[in-house]
Amino acid sequence: MYLQRSRAVKRAGDNMAAMVNTQNDSRRLKDLLYEQVARIGKAACSPKRLELIELLCQGEKPVETLAREAGISMKLASAHLRELRAAHLVETERQGKNVIYRIANRAVCDFWVAIRSLAEDRLVELRMALAQIESNPKELAPHDRETLVRLAEKGDVIVIDVRPPAEYEAAHLPFARSVPLDELKSRLAEFPAGKTVVAYCRGPYCLMARDAVELLRKKGFDAMRLPEGVAEWGIAPVRQDG
């Protein structure tokens, strides 16, 4: 009788130990899963890394260009890009003496748009800062994307991409024409009289379209700012495998 009770106690103890081990294994697995997902958040926790992601959503660029456009040194840009590459958010390719960076895939651009939209929804300080950009140029509120494309196709509005030519060549909105900001003043004669001009650039945090609208209005054009770019439209340039 005593022996039977001892065996029963031992079996219960073994079962309990197995349950504890199973629970520990499950906990370790969950911790590992969250730890891996957190790598993305860690890689994107820097304001400059977010800006680099936005820049690369416009097209592939060498580190020299990224550093200049982000307003940081090449050494710092390289350090940030290493972190983004370690999280598999960007890829590299050597072209001669240059190392070219590009977005790993379109999901990275979707991530940038989503996290930016979440921040705009939750952070009043961000909305106040955005108001400084949006308070002057008239937004393209009356038209949805399908309407804008239809009007541009018919020639009822002129959509201009004021980003650098290389970004336009990488990807651009339907029926948009490339008119880089630094060429705009000398190309005003290209716009038909009486037509509304819609300017866009890299997205809502980019100021090139705002400056373009300001210039166009001073010259008497009906101009509007589209606060979206190729990332928001889901057409950011990514290399297709194969």
Q: Which helix (H) or strand (E) holds 196?
A: strand 196-200
Tokens for 3, please give them: 């022996």
**Among the options 45, 57, 109, 201, which is catalytic?**
201
Q: How many other CB atoms are there within 10 angstroms of residue 195's CB atom?
A: 13
Annotated catalytic, 57?
A: no
Cα separation of 172 and 147, whole Å? 17
Q: Which helix (H) or strand (E) holds 54?
A: helix 47-56
Q: How far is C-alpha 76 from the chain's CA centre?
A: 20
AA identity, residue 79: A
Tokens for 121, please give them: 């929804």
Q: In what order do the strands lie in the sheet with 90-95?
A: 61-62, 98-103, 90-95
| Catalytic machinery residues | 201
